[in-house]
Amino acid sequence: MTRKADAMSSTLAQPRTTFSATRLRGRRRIPAVPVATDDLAAVRAIPGWQVVERSAFGFVDQVAVAPSAIVAITARHHTPLQGDAHVQRAWKAIRDAKGSAALMKQMLGPDSPEVTPVLVLSGPGAPELEDGHMLIKGVRVVDGSRPHLWAHLFNAPNLDELEQRRLARSLRV
């Protein structure tokens, strides 16, 4: 494991808060971790991004066309967990994000712009990312509540505004 991965593992092992958002199912208490639309509101508010609300790619939570690339967004809303559960959940989410972006690129074809996997973390149990983002195994892991710390990473003007709109239209259902 790299130093960044080790740092993330230790960060993930420490819950950020002590309360637990749970729901009752029968007599068992199960953590509620659905992807809420509000978790992606910050992404929709980034200036210069064309967000595809209903994409043809149901395996990603949201697709956006940033000035530098197509962004395949996987979102995870985290409730507090203890011990290794944080680490296991994070590595699964990273694998899911990377796999979704690779599948999307394959479906779009070799001539399409780069598809960048992004994992947006939110919720009371989400790990604290000191800089608001980290690159782990090719996946940009970002703090969903602080896009001002990471949106600039996708602002290199590889795609002009007209091309962004054309791509966004072509990605809609």
Under 8 Å CB-to-CB from 55, ≥6 apart: which residues? Answer: 62, 63, 171, 172, 173
How does pLDDT run across 2-22, given as a tens digit for each residue?
555 455 444 444 333 222 223
Give the model's pLDDT for residue 169.
85
Angle between helices 3-12 and 85-108 (to 10 degrees): 120
Query: Where in the chain are the domains?
Result: 3-16+32-171
Are 139 and 94 a contacting pair, CB within 8 Å? yes
pTM: 0.73
How does pLDDT run across 105-150, given as a tens digit for each residue?
998 888 888 899 999 988 887 778 889 999 999 999 998 888 889 9
